[in-house]
Amino acid sequence: MKILFLSDTQTDRSNLQESDVMLKHLLAVADKVKPDLIVHLGDAKDGYDPISLVIVKWWVRAVKQIVAKGHRFIVLKGNHDRISQSVESVDWLDILAAAGAVVYTQPMIRDQMGIKIALLPFTPNAKQEIEWADSLVVHQPDILLFHTAVSEGVANGFSGLGRTTEELHFNKYRACFGGHYH
CB 112 within 8 Å of CB 1: yes
pLDDT for position 87: 74
Q: What is the DSSP string of the chain?
A: --EEEE----B-GGGHHHHHHHHHHHHHHHHHH--SEEEE-S--B-S-SS--HHHHHHHHHHHHHHHHTT--EEEE--GGGBSSSSTT--BSHHHHHHHT-EEESS-EEEEETTEEEEEE---S-HHHHHHHHHHHHTT--SEEEEES-BTT-EETTEES-SB-TTTTTGGGSSEEEEE---
Instruction: Assign 88 a pLDDT band (cuts: 50, 70, 90).
Output: confident
Which residues does 70 contact at the CB level (< 8 Å), separation at least 6?
none
Amino acid at 169: H
Q: Give per-residue pLDDT as tens, 121-164.
A: 999 999 999 999 999 999 999 999 999 988 865 554 555 578 89
Instruction: Assign 90 a pLDDT band (cuts: 50, 70, 90).
Output: confident
